Amino acid sequence: MPPAQWKLSPEELDSYPWVVLRFDTVGLMGGVNYNQAFDLSHACPTCGAGAQPIPTLIANLNKMGRKQLDRTAHEGLFVISVEFADALRSSGLTGFTILPVQHYSAATPDPRYFWLRIISEWPRMHPRRILAIEDLCPACQRAGHFDTYERPTEFWYHAVPESACDFNLTWEYFGVWRHHLSSRTFSVGGHQVPILSRRARLFLREQHTKHVAFDPVFFNPTVAS
C-alpha cells in the first residue's frame, strides 16, 4: 500500500511558500549500489546519517531517459539533465552546487547529466510533525523516519530558518538505514527529503519537470511566509 498523499489543486499549492518535493519514480540505481566513495568524517557511526558522497557521483544513467530530474533510489542523490543544469545556473536560485556524474560502467563523467547536490539543510522538525518512526537510530535519532499510510505525512517547523535557501534538505533521514549490500560494510542513513521555496517550485514548473509532486510544509503556529 502506498503512503497517503496530499491532493492539492495548483491554487491551493500556491498558498504555501514552502513545499516538500516528491518523486513519482522509483529512482535510479546509484551511489551505494555501485561502490560509491563516501566521506564518513561527519557521519553518525551507527546509522551513517551525514555521510557525503565523494565526487564523481555514480549512477545508472541509462534509466534517465528523457527525464530532467530523478534521484538515486536509496540515498536520494539528485541527477539532472544538462539542460536543467544550465537553466539552474542562470536562475539565481540558491542552496546547491552542480557536480559531475558518471554511468556506473564508464570511466569518465557523462556530459549529458549532472549531480544536483543540495547543500542547505533545515533543523529538526517541530514535535507536531506527522510521520512514521521505525528503528530510530539510537545514537543520533536522524535515521528511521518514514511516510505515514493512515493520513498524509506532515512536515512541521517552528519557523523558516534564517539560513533557508531555495533548495534544502531535511535534518531527518527517511527509509531503511540498516540496508547493507554485499559490496559495502557501512550505512548512509537512508535519504533526506528536499524542501523547496516557492521560487524553486515555480522553476520546476517552468521547466515542465515531470514525475514530481509537492506537499505543503507547515509552521507553528501558522503558515510562515
Tens of pLDDT, residue by residue, the chain (225 residues):
677 888 898 889 999 999 999 999 989 999 988 989 999 999 999 999 999 999 999 999 999 999 999 999 989 999 999 999 999 999 999 999 999 999 999 999 999 999 999 999 999 999 999 999 999 999 999 999 999 998 999 999 999 999 999 999 999 999 999 865 545 668 999 999 999 999 999 999 999 999 999 999 999 865 444
Predicted TM-score (pTM) of the model is: 0.94
Q: What is the pLDDT of residue 32?
A: 87
Q: What is the pLDDT of residue 178?
A: 84
- C-beta of residue 79 within 8 angstroms of C-beta of residue 61: yes
Q: What is the pLDDT of residue 5?
A: 85
Q: What is the pLDDT of residue 220?
A: 81
Q: What is the pLDDT of residue 225?
A: 41
Q: Which helix (H) or strand (E) holds 140?
A: none
CA distance linking residue 179 with residue 105, whole number of Å: 23
Q: Are strands 38-39 and 52-53 parallel, antiparallel or unpaired?
A: antiparallel
Q: What is the pLDDT of residue 223?
A: 47
Q: What is the pLDDT of residue 183?
A: 53
Given its phi and psi angles, is residue 208 left (phi above 0), alpha (psi -120 to 50 degrees) or beta?
left
